[in-house]
Amino acid sequence: MQPKPLRFIISGGGTGGHIFPAVAIANELRRRLPDAEILFVGANGRMEMTRVPEAGYKIVGLDITGLQRRLTPKNLLFPVRVFRSVRMAGKLIQEFRPDAVVGVGGYASAPVLLAATSRAIPSLIQEQNSYAGLVNKLLAKRVSKICVAYDGMEKFFPKAKLVLTGNPVRTEIAHGNRAEALAFFGLNPDKPVLLVIGGSLGARTLNQATAAALPRLREAGVQLLWQTGKLYFPEARQQTAAYAADGLHALEFIQRMDLAYAAADVVVSRAGALSVSELCLTGKASILVPSPNVAEDHQTKNALALVGKGAAVLITDEHAPTRLYDETLRLLADPQRQQQLSQRVRELAKPDATTTIVDELLGLIKN
């Protein structure tokens, strides 16, 4: 008799930092178990509802939002939404009957993990950041395993459940070909290339500082790949129109990140967990500008994990308007320092993170 295909639910989202690791886990499950059935659960209105289907997976949305930091009518509805979402998650689990559930953080992971653990379904949390998210901290005692990307996470989670895996990253991003990348973006192989990425939703401070620096970049002979995010793109396209012949390009979203990293000599980036893991894997010299608009300032903690090992440069969001491009142009003009940062950041990479997480997940089912 043929064994039944295994079934998995992967829950969470909200930002690319949650979604892309979730998709990487799903891809590894599909690679090992081609017959496995995989269902994503996200939050209605969030970016996972489009990004996950684009990656080839089915997703169901829950009607849940986070708590607002100030008193709003939405906060009054929060308990009602949580109750409804837990009830809907329970119904989903009863119908889909998963063999295991993964939570990657974000609004939707809480009701799904609550419903799964109350039914004794093996459950695993994947925490991307060096400072644990609220949902993951609350659910840590209920789940079977917690896969983390940084040392010292026992201050947030039960030590016996921790596995240091690193973050699941699309490993193909480390295999871009530089010659192909330069041709793809229409860049000159004799000039340095700066890549600016503000995360999947864009970053106002990086965008404003980059717009102001366009004349300086042209004067220094630097080429630019500038991922702006959707909201800022129309303005950035106008701002770079006069500089296109000099290789200064604004892009709303970069699908081929493997080629963007391959082309870049230096990267300016926010310090989301996914971005930091990608920089380690690609071995890129980087200047990190942590977002101040995240819970518990966890991007600064992510950045300091690299800076403390001499693997990146840190500029605060507050100082970015005045200091970011002074530092960036200094680094672009110093290949020896680029090489030093590149070597040190590469030492922090964990290229087997996704396979280790899937090993842990399948081990829970086996046991």
Binding residues for UDP-N-acetyl-alpha-D-glucosamine: 15-17, 129, 170, 200, 254, 273-278, 299
Residues 6+ apart with CB under 8 A from 45: 61
Closest CA to 99 of 33, 183, 17, 14: 33
One-letter amino acid for residue 226 of the chain: W
State residue 223 phi and psi, 5-degree precision. -95, 155
- Give the span between the Cα atoms of 65 and 112, in whole angstroms: 14
* Cα–Cα dist 282/268, whole Å: 14
| Contact between residue 228 and residue 236 where contact means Cβ atoms under 8 Å apart | yes
Cβ atoms 272, 299 nearer than 8 A: yes
Known binding residues: 15-17, 129, 170, 200, 254, 273-278, 299
Strands (E), the chain: 7-11, 37-43, 58-62, 100-103, 123-127, 145-148, 162-164, 193-197, 223-227, 248-251, 266-269, 285-288, 313-314
In whole angstroms, give the CA distance from residue 40 to residue 46: 13
What amino acid is encoded at 79 in this protein?
P
CA distance 245 to 224: 11
